[in-house]
């Protein structure tokens, strides 16, 4: 068996890796990451990379934040774990719920916790159904989502995004799912269609979907303010306002999935502020704890919560729980993230760095391999000229996307390719110099792809 420089086995061994080709990762040792500092990570061979995607859009404060380490250690020493349930909890869980309720773009917010973004979305849909049972509408359980979106990896949440081939390949239960198109303009536009006409068509598609399903059966619509998985297209400015009008008209709740966009990513605390959304519920994870500990939240309006309470009056018991919901260490870390955002004026920092970031992203517009560039806050996409139009986060890469994914690893910059789109979502703490270095490395990778195509 081959050995790498640290002498360990070359293959992945017993570990099963997601979002990978299973056979390839058994035959070829994956990148094994042994350390990190700031926006950099280091592999087992000592090679340093800029993590231009905050590893799955979550390490928002980089890889070496001493305040987060201290917060976790303090909590572990004081009380490493106690369950939040059975009429028991811990002070940090209560404090975090208060802080999130104050910040969230939801009226009279009430907060529950999970361990991941998937759990937050999954639990929330379960809660909404519990409410509808109380309201005498148990049939109101269908969820509208957008093809190519991503809301998680559990049975329920995997059914909310991706493509038909993803649903078929895992034989997911699709009984209560309704799909509409992504607002990817001009990618999904018909020939000659203006942006206004495009939005009109999508809004009509939504309304027709609700009517043909029967509004009495449709519980909620779930969407990310910007859908990274579907290629990072910014929603046309009227899209969400028009969507929300339709939802209100038919009594369908709006779930705003802020798992990536929450906590300063778009230049505001939540993407809801950037895109003027008025959601009934919000889910958060990832940047919430800067990925130093797995924790997520589901935040619902008082109207929704009060019905849960009333339903409970009838049942006597809210029969929902999860051992690690509101884990004290996760809650302590998430609280410290909120403190850091405040103390370091993170929003100002993100807004200032976003200018440098956008300028540098836009400089790639002239590149022969590049078709389009889109940015928002400290995130964006550089779209390659490619035959591959569809294929998002859950599809295998082909053509120039596959070449660029490999070339950027070689050049020491870790991007995420979603179809033809190179997605950037660096740690929020990135400096102007590091932004420059990130794009120099990326430019070199693009050059490698050009050379390879020409050969």
Ligand X SMILES: Cc1ncc(COP(=O)(O)O)c(C=O)c1O
Residues within the interface to ligand X (CB under 6 A): 56, 116-118, 121, 150-153, 224, 257, 259-260, 285
Q: What's the closest the beta carbon of residue 388 comes to ligand X, in angstroms? A: 20
Q: What's the closest the beta carbon of residue 108 comes to ligand X, in angstroms? A: 24
Buried b or exposed e, range 270-280, using 16+ CB within 10 angstroms: bbbebbebbbb
In the complex with ligand X, the residue whose CB is nearer, 153 or 302, is: 153
CA dihedral 385, 388, 393, 398 (to 10 degrees): -100
Q: How far is Cα 53 from Cα 142, in angstroms, rounded to an integer?
A: 33
Q: What's the closest the beta carbon of residue 416 comes to ligand X, in angstroms? A: 10
In the complex with ligand X, the residue whose CB is nearer, 290 or 370, is: 290
Q: What's the closest the beta carbon of residue 161 comes to ligand X, in angstroms? A: 8
Q: How far is Cα 361 from Cα 369, in angstroms, rounded to an integer?
A: 14
In the complex with ligand X, the residue whose CB is nearer, 56 or 318, is: 56
| Region of residue 224 (phi > 0: left; psi between -120 and 50: alpha; otherwise: beta) | beta
Per DSSP, the residues of 19-65 read SS-HHHHHHSPPP-EEEEETTEEEETTS-EEEETTHHHHT-TT-S--
CB atoms under 10 Å from CB of 227, counted, come to: 26
Q: How far is Cα 224 from Cα 254, in angstroms, rounded to an integer?
A: 11
Q: What's the closest the beta carbon of residue 257 comes to ligand X, in angstroms? A: 5
In the complex with ligand X, the residue whose CB is nearer, 285 or 430, is: 285
Q: What's the closest the beta carbon of residue 154 comes to ligand X, in angstroms? A: 8
In the complex with ligand X, the residue whose CB is nearer, 224 or 280, is: 224
Task: Report whether 371 contacts 385 (CB < 8 A).
Answer: yes
Q: Which contacts qualify for 5-11: CB closer than 8 Å, 24 or more apart?
A: 5/44, 5/45, 5/46, 6/44, 6/45, 8/32, 8/44
Q: What's the closest the beta carbon of residue 58 comes to ligand X, in angstroms? A: 8
Element (H, E) at 434: helix 432-454
In the complex with ligand X, the residue whose CB is nearer, 18 or 136, is: 18
Residue 299, SS3?
strand
In the complex with ligand X, the residue whose CB is nearer, 412 or 426, is: 426
Q: What's the closest the beta carbon of residue 160 comes to ligand X, in angstroms? A: 9
- Residue the block writes with tokens 């440098």: 356
Residue nearest to ligand X (CB): 117
Residue 297, SS3?
strand
In the complex with ligand X, the residue whose CB is nearer, 51 or 307, is: 51
Q: What's the closest the beta carbon of residue 393 comes to ligand X, in angstroms? A: 8
Task: Report whether 140 contacts 217 (CB < 8 A).
Answer: yes
In the complex with ligand X, the residue whose CB is nearer, 260 or 281, is: 260
């Amino acid at each position: 068996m081959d050995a790498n420089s640290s002498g360990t086995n070359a293959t992945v061994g017993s570990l099963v890796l997601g979002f990978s080709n299973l056979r390839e990762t058994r035959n070829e040792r994956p990148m094994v990451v042994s350390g990190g500092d700031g926006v950099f990570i280091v592999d087992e061979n000592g090679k340093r990379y800029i993590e231009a995607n905050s590893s799955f859009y979550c390490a928002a404060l980089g890889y070496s934040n001493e305040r987060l380490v201290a917060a976790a250690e303090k909590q572990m020493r004081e009380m490493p774990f106690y369950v939040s349930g059975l009429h028991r909890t811990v002070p940090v869980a209560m404090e975090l719920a208060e802080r999130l309720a104050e910040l969230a773009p939801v009226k009279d917010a009430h907060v529950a916790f999970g361990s991941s973004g998937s759990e937050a979305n999954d639990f929330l849909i379960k809660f909404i159904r519990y409410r509808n049972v109380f309201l005498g509408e148990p049939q109101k359980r269908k969820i509208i989502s957008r093809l190519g979106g991503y809301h998680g990896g559990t049975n329920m949440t995997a059914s909310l995004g991706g493509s038909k081939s993803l649903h078929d390949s895992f034989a997911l239960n699709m009984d209560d799912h309704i799909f509409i198109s992504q607002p990817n303009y001009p990618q999904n536009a018909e020939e000659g269609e203006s942006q206004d006409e495009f939005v009109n068509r999508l809004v009509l598609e939504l309304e027709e979907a609700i009517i043909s399903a029967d509004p009495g059966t449709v519980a909620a619509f779930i969407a990310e303010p910007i859908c990274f998985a579907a290629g990072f297209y910014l929603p046309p400015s009227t899209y969400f306002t028009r969507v929300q009008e339709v939802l209100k008209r038919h009594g369908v709740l709006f779930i705003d999935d802020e798992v990536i966009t929450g906590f300063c990513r778009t230049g505001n605390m939540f993407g809801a502020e950037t895109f003027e959304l008025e959601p009934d519920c919000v889910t958060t994870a990832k940047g919430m704890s800067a990925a130093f500990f797995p924790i997520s939240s589901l935040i619902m309006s008082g109207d929704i919560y009060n019905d849960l309470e009333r339903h409970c009056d009838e049942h006597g018991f809210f029969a929902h729980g999860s051992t690690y919901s509101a884990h004290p260490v996760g809650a302590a870390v998430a609280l410290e993230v909120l403190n850091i955002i405040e103390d370091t004026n993170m929003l100002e920092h993100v807004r200032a760095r976003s200018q440098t970031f956008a300028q540098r992203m836009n400089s790639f517009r002239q590149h022969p391999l590049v078709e389009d560039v889109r940015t928002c806050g400290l995130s964006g996409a550089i779209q390659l000229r490619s035959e591959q139009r569809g294929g998002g986060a859950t599809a295998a890469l082909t053509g120039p996307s596959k070449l660029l994914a490999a070339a950027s690893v070689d050049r020491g910059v870790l991007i995420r390719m979603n179809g033809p789109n190179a997605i950037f979502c660096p740690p929020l703490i990135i400096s102007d110099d590091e932004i420059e270095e990130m794009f120099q490395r990326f430019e070199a990778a693009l050059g490698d792809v050009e050379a390879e195509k020409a050969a």
